[in-house]
Amino acid sequence: MIYTLRHRTTYRYARPVRFARCSLRLKPQDGEGQTVLASAVTIEPSPASAVTRRDYFGIEALGIRLDTPHAEFAVEANSRVAVDRPSPPEPEAGPAWDAVRDAVLASRDLSGQAPVHFLFPSARVPLVPAVTDYARPSFRPGRSAYGAAHDLMRRIRADFRFDSGATAVDTPLAEAFRLRAGVCQDFAHVMIAGLRGLGLPAAYVSGYLRTTPPPGRPRLQGADASHAWVAVWCGERWLGLDPTNDCAVGNDHIVVARGRDYGDVAPIDGIVTASGRQRLRVEVDVIPEGEEAGAALALAV
């Protein structure tokens, strides 16, 4: 499957911003069944400087500096990506989770993609005893790592309510768990905390999810959204699980970045020097090759 991706973010400020420094993580990743055919980012106003770098975990970020006063800041990323992943394994396939746990702890690999980096607490995913206890029933001794994680995913989808008004981007994990509600970021963070609490490496994955319009209706422009899910280390490779939708990651998912939590992979972060309120507007299109976009619809925050 080949996708055309468009991700436009627009900030409007009540008062002009005199200086801004931002990191943009908007280019999809190559590898693991995914090939980037083309990718470009446009920025308005033009930055005074722009430097591309990769962090320790291999995430590509474009660092920019704006020093011209501006009342609006817009970033648009356009990409073309081919996705052809193998079918996910059967839920109970693969090595036992407790064997995977022991092997990770015994490993001496400290490279950027080493599973051990995704085992310990991170800024947005502390180890919460209540979350570990919630995950524990899925992990009976000897059960496969993938099977146990798959079961945890299904339980989260059944027990939690998707509610975009229940949490914000900075809501603590423990609060989202208490509410049993939130969005894909919260679902992913809770699942990661449960996995790490039991000794399994788990990563936060940001990207996009193809959505299918109702039969007979055109695809709406801007109606898709950025998405988040979980990659769990299963002893031989990372396998993706989407607790928001109760499904294994396949060709409908497009990976942009994988990190320890949302803080590692935020599409845009940084600082601005200004006072007053700001408005944020995000428009995302995930269009399979051969499908046409219809009427315009945007996600506004």
Whether the predicted pLDDT of 32 surpasses 90: no
Dist. CA 172–CA 170, nearest whole Å: 6
Residue 273 and residue 245 in one domain: no
Domain co-membership, 180 together with 137? yes
pLDDT at 221 (0 to 100): 53
Do 43 and 108 belong to one domain? no
Same domain, 114 and 207: yes
The structure tokens listed for 118 are 């995704």
278 lies in the same domain as 251: no
Using pLDDT thresholds of 50, 70 and 90, give the confidence band for residue 296. very low
Cβ(35)–Cβ(254) under 8 Å?
Answer: no
Per the prediction, the chain carries an average pLDDT of 91
Of the listed ranges 78-92, 160-174, 178-192, 285-299, the least confidently predicted one is: 285-299
CATH of the domain at 130: 3.10.620.30
Average pLDDT over residues 109-118: 91
Q: How much is the average pLDDT of 194-198?
A: 98
pLDDT above 90 for 224:
no
- pLDDT, one tens digit per residue, over 116-173 is 999 999 999 999 999 999 999 999 999 999 999 999 999 999 999 999 999 998 999 9
Instruction: Take residue 66 and report the two structure tokens written for it.
Output: 């704006």
Mean pLDDT confidence for 55-80: 95
pTM: 0.91
The answer to whether residue 213 scores a pLDDT higher than 80 is no
CATH for 11: 2.60.40.2250
Q: pLDDT for 228-273, tens place per residue?
A: 999 999 998 999 999 999 999 999 999 999 999 999 999 999 999 8
Pairwise pLDDT comparison (223 vs 202), residue with the higher score: 202
The kind and range of the H/E element at 118 are none
Same domain as 175, residue 141: yes
Lowest-pLDDT choice from 79-83, 167-171, 208-212: 208-212
Q: Please, which pLDDT band fits residue 300 given cuts at 50, 70 and 90?
A: very low
Asked if residue 110 and residue 41 are part of one domain, the reply reads: no
Indicate whether 301 belongs to any domain. Answer: no
* Residue 274 confidence class, pLDDT cut points 50, 70, 90: confident
Give dist(CA 26, CA 80) in Å, integer.
12
103 and 44 part of one domain: no
If you average pLDDT over residues 206-211, what whole number do you get? 91
CA distance 243 to 157: 6
Q: Are residues 257 and 276 in the same domain?
A: no
In whole angstroms, what is the distance from residue 154 CA to residue 188 CA? 12
SS3 of 198-212: CCCCEEEEEEEECCC
Q: Is the pLDDT of residue 18 over 90?
A: yes
CA 285 from chain centre, in angstroms, equals 16
The verdict on 177 and 245 lying in the same domain is yes
User: Is 161 found in the same domain as 41?
Assistant: no
Euclidean distance between CA atoms 205 and 3, whole angstroms: 18
Task: Say how many domains are in the chain.
Answer: 2
CB-based contact 143:92 (threshold 8 Å):
yes
Q: Whole domain around residue 74: which residue ranges?
A: 2-83+266-288
Both 64 and 193 in a single domain? Answer: no
